[in-house]
Amino acid sequence: MNSPLNPTSSFRIEAADRMKRLPTQFFASLVSKVNRQIAAGHDVINLGQGNPDRPTPAHIVSALQEATPNPAYHKYSPFSGFTFLKEAIAARYREDYGVSLDPETEVAILFGGKTGLVEISQCLLNSGDVCLVPDPGYPDYWSGVELAGGRMVFMPLKEDNAFLPDYSALSADDVNKAKLMFINYPNNPTAACAPDSFYDDTIRFAAANGIVVASDFAYGAIGFDGKRPVSFLERPGAKEVGVEFYTMSKTYNMAGWRVGFALGNAEVVRLINLIQDHYYVSLFGGIQAAAAHALTSPQDCVRELNAVYESRRNALFGALSRIGWEATPSAGSFFAWLPVPKRYTSAEFADLLLTEANVMVAPGIGFGTHGEGYVRVGLLSSEARLEEAVERIGRLNLFG
């Protein structure tokens, strides 16, 4: 019988270098702060996270319940997913955006959109290759680049340019070395939307410089004031230069179900399917059946959800106006991007709101250097709760 190691043994576990390069999970620290405040007995209004607050529509839940007993789904699913789900997302894109997709070669099923956003860097970047990343932007873009050993070059998103990147401001050397770029509209965190002309400029820029475009369209179903967000894939030449990432999480309140897609360029889709062959054995078939039902059923629930977010946006910005907090109303997504009073950093301001008003917001610095000066607020509470949060903040007399 082997003896256990001596407690004084020098044996230790050493993490691989790639693990040490991973960025700190920004949202985990937000959750910890909120939980400490709640544990101390405070009623915290948490507007700092991006977790949909409404349940999955009943007809989608029923579809899963009906599919679960099917013994065909109790076996391994096809590694690249069932054809019926790929056909369903292709049909949805054809109806919503007029985009034609080959379900077998231009659709990859993902374990949530985040997975694909991390995987694409590992598929395309070698050590030292450049990836162009929006700043501010979704922090998990960084994770994939770091795991691949790539180098990030940040594209500032500034209010005076409608929170769109300025490709002409990038250095020629960085552009020459770039192999991949991320774009994201409706945007997290700035809540900006992009016009057709931006996507046309992006496609020309990518084609001229041999850069693959990764369009994060997670909030594609959420646009306000009668304006439908534009899909990258709608624009001529898009499939030649890149892919779009779409998720069921926001459109159908299915965040916990983990269903997403990479759509577009056949070679990128092939590479994503290949890397997933080494990681996974595809999603449970019952979930795929329910997701297909969501995509092919009447889309009333999607329109109703968009109306809920627009009503919440209007309630929030009406309340902000009453306390003198001036900000540009969100164009899309379920976020608001609000300027911080000049005397505070974004982290200081967020901490102040948590400790003095029991309102949690996300400091902009967590999304990149150019996020400094802003906080992100989620439209993920009732109108009454959003208005209460603003009223609490108003009592601090920070504006006007």
Res 306: pLDDT: 98
Average pLDDT over residues 79-106: 97
Res 30: pLDDT: 79
Average pLDDT over residues 72-91: 96
Average pLDDT, the chain: 95
Q: Percent of the chain, pLDDT > 70?
A: 98
Distance CA 235, CA 229 (A): 13
Taking the alpha carbons of 58, 381, 321, 136 in that order, is the dihedral positive or negative? negative
Cα-Cα-Cα-Cα dihedral of 43, 47, 49, 54, to 10°?
A: 90
User: Domains of the chain by range and CATH?
Assistant: 17-55+301-394 (3.90.1150.10), 58-296 (3.40.640.10)
Distance CA 316, CA 389 (A): 9
Pair type for strands 212-216 and 107-110: unpaired
Res 158: pLDDT: 97
Res 5: pLDDT: 62
pLDDT digits (tens, 9 = 90+) for 4-57: 666 666 788 999 988 888 887 777 777 888 889 999 999 999 999 889 999 999
pLDDT digits (tens, 9 = 90+) for 369-380: 999 999 999 999
- Taking the CA of residue 15 as centre, how many other CA atoms within 13 Å lie in the half-sphere pointing to its CB? 6
Distance CA 123, CA 117 (A): 11
pLDDT digits (tens, 9 = 90+) for 210-265: 999 999 999 999 999 999 999 999 999 999 999 999 999 999 999 999 999 999 99
Distance CA 126, CA 132 (A): 14
216, 220, 28, 214: which is closest to 122 by C-alpha? 214
pLDDT digits (tens, 9 = 90+) for 146-203: 999 999 999 999 999 999 999 999 999 999 999 999 999 999 999 999 999 999 999 9
Q: How confident is the model at residue 3 (pLDDT cuts 50, 70, 90)?
A: low
